[in-house]
Amino acid sequence: MDCLFCKITNGDIPSKKVYEDEDVFAFFDIAPQAPVHVLVIPKVHIASMDGISMENAEVVAKIFTVIPKIAAQLGLTNGYRVISNCGSDACQSVKHLHFHILGGAQLSEKMA
């Protein structure tokens, strides 16, 4: 499958890895929009939030247990934001489910 984030999880494209287990991979965003900007993804290909179902919900739940660990690892003790863009209106540019962790500074009150 020609998917950028699948290529990152299997090592075909290099990334600055932050976390990895058998199901989940996390790496620094190449174009950070905050002092700390990490992407957390399932290793299995899920195209977007719209692709989440009861069949793959376990890995999504796991991601949400991993996110606070990554935030702690990166020293985001004062808080952080988690975003997932889904589809065209949300400007999703990579069609592999991912959760942005943004932090390391006071973020805007506006989310859009």
Residues of this chain that interact with ligand AMP (CB under 6 A) are: 4, 13, 15, 27, 29-31, 39, 85, 91-94
> Distance between CA atoms of 49 and 30, rounded to whole angstroms?
22
Structure tokens at 77: 């003790």
- Known catalytic residue: 100? no
Residue 58 Cβ, how far from ligand AMP at the closest point, in Å? 23
Q: Judged by CB, which is closer to ligand AMP: 39, or 76? A: 39
Closest contact distance (angstroms) between CB of 93 and ligand AMP is: 4
- Buried/exposed 69-106: b ≥16 CB within 10 Å, e otherwise: ebbeebebeeebebebbeeeeeebeeebbbbbbbbbee
Please say which residue, 48 or 56, places its beta carbon nearer to ligand AMP: 48
